[in-house]
Structure 1
Amino acid sequence: MGNSLMNYLNSRLKEAKAREYGNMHEAGPVITISREVGCNGLVLARLVAERLNKNLAKGSWNVLSKEIFYESAKELDLDPEMVRQTFKKTDRYVFEEILKAFRDKRYKSEERIIKTVKEVVRTLAIDGHCIIVGRASHIIASDIKNALHIRLTAPLGYRINTIMTNNKLNRNEAIAFIEKVEKERATFRKALKENNLHEDVFDITINRGSFTNEQAVDLIEFAVEKKGILHEFSPRIEFH
């Protein structure tokens, strides 16, 4: 991850932690995107950020996904991969991890890692001007008024073709990849004690098989305007 984005995360978290958020009307604006595997959620998120920045202010919106693990790892003084793997385990209590707790002074409990990731997601969502892809952000930020929560779906055939193209896999490999990642995401939500998607939280659901990228961005921009999540905020320039 580039230094500019790391600097952005550091400054935003420091400022957010220094503020009081008793009134959720002052939080955000934030856009969360939950997606089925193979919906090109990150691609769409970057296009949305580009559109918002073009129409509002250059560099004011940022897309966050894996960056959540980088920032959480920094706060915990751990390798980002260790944080990521915590949420991929299906067997949460393995003997090797118990031994590691005694060997490694930097060992952090699973509970602390999970708590830190949730805090990072929530702090960034509250501070706003970001599009958070995945990480159960729609659940963590469900009480923020100035938020737009999006769910991306698509027919299985569309998603298989997308994974085949993006990852250079054959059909069977793409199907196996989709199943694997969906299980990992379910494990992530379970670790956060959120076993379902909370579909009632989503403001709009977009079928990626029915709309082009540009059309999907048009729909999201329209929803941003109609829900009014930007009305109380003036855009700000963060970094280049």
Structure 2
Amino acid sequence: MGNSLMNYLNSRLKEAKTHEYDNMSEAGPVITISREVGCNGLVLARLIAERLNKKHPKDSWSVLSKEIFYESARELDLDPEMVRRTFKKTDRYVFEEILKAFSEKRYKSEETIIKTVKEVVRTLAIDGHCIIVGRASHIIASDIKNALHIRLTAPLGYRINTIMTNNKLNRNEAIAFIEKVEKERAAFRKTLRESSLREEFFDLTINRGSFTNEQAVNLVEFAVEEKGILHKFSHKMAFH
């Protein structure tokens, strides 16, 4: 990951932590994207950010996904891969055995890792002007009013072809990849949902097999306008 992106992420987090949000109506705006494997969620997220930045040049929308693990790992002084693995496992005893392999100084419990990742996601969501892809962000940010929660789906054939192309895999390998990653994502969402006690819900579900990238971006832009997640912030900006 480029240093510029990490520096940006760190500065955003520091700025966000200096603000107090007694009224959650001031939080955001944020867009979360949950997706089935093979829906090219990151591709769509970047196109949405590009459209929003072009239409609202005073704002600066960013796309975040794996960066969440990097920032969480930095705060925990752990390897990002160790943080990621915590949410892929289902056996808590396995969690603890893996983590105990670290020296006492760097040992972090599963609960601490989960809490840190949640805090990073939530801080970024509250700070706003970001599109968070995955990381159960739709659960963590479910109480933020100025948010649009999107779910991307697609027929299995579409998703297999996407994975075959993106990852240079044959059909059987692509199917195995989809099954593996879907299980990991389900475990991640379950872990966050159990710890936050929030339900999953979405404002908009898009079938990636039915719409081109441009059409999908148009749908998201329409939803952003109709839900009005930018209105409060546009109104504020007009007085500066």
TM-score by length of 1: 0.92
Partner of 2:98: 97
Conservation of the 8 A alpha-carbon contact between 2:27 and 2:144: yes
Q: After superposition, what is the alpha-carbon deviation per residue over 1:15-50, rounded to whole angstroms, capped at 9, x for unaligned? A: 111111111100000000000001000000000001
Any stretches of 5+ residues in structure 2 without a counterpart? none
Distance 1:34 1:79 in 2: 25
Q: Distance in 2 between matches of 1:55 and 1:140?
A: 27
- The corresponding residue for 2:13 is 13
Deviation at 1:86, TM superposition (A): 1.0
Could you list the per-position Cα deviations for residues 127-165 of structure 1 after superposition, in whole angstroms to 9, with x for gaps in the alignment? 000000000000100010100000000011111111111
Q: Which has the higher helix share?
A: 2
Matched, 1:35 2:35: yes
Query: How far apart, CA to CA, are the structure 2 residues paired with 1:202 and 1:170?
Result: 33
Aligned-partner SS, 1:100: coil
Across the aligned residues of Structure 1 and Structure 2, the Cα RMSD in angstroms comes to 2.0
Paired amino acid for 2:65? S
**CA spacing shift, 1:45–1:10, aligned 2, 3 Å:** same
SS at match of 1:165: helix
Name the TM-score, length of structure 2 as normaliser.
0.92
Matches within 5 A, 1:53-68: 53-57=53-57, 60-68=60-68
Q: Is the 8 A contact 2:139 2:193 kept in 1?
A: no
Identify which of structures 1 and 2 has the higher relative contact order when contacts are C-alpha pairs closer than 8 Å and 6+ apart.
Answer: 1
What is the DSSP-based 3-state SS (H/G/I as helix, E as strand, rest coil) of the residue aligned with 2:186?
Answer: helix
Secondary structure at the residue paired with 1:33?
strand
Q: Deviations over 1:67-108 (max 9, x none)?
A: 00011011111111111111111322137337426x442111
Q: Secondary structure in 2 aligned to 1:132?
A: strand
State the shift of 1:58 in Å: 6.8
CA distance in 2, matches of 1:217, 1:112: 37
Partner of 1:159: 159
What is aligned with 2:49? 49
Q: Is the 8 A contact 2:48 2:220 kept in 1?
A: yes
How do residues 134-149 of structure 1 correspond to structure 2 at under 5 angstroms?
Answer: 134-149=134-149
- Mapped partners of 1:81, 1:52: distance in 2: 32
Describe the SS at the equivalent of 2:151.
strand
Alignment of 1:132-211 (within 5 A): 132-194=132-194, 198-199=199-200, 201-211=201-211
Identity rate, percent: 85
CA distance in structure 1 between the partners assigned to 2:80 and 2:141 by the alignment: 23
CA–CA separation in structure 2 for the residues paired with 1:58 and 1:18:
21
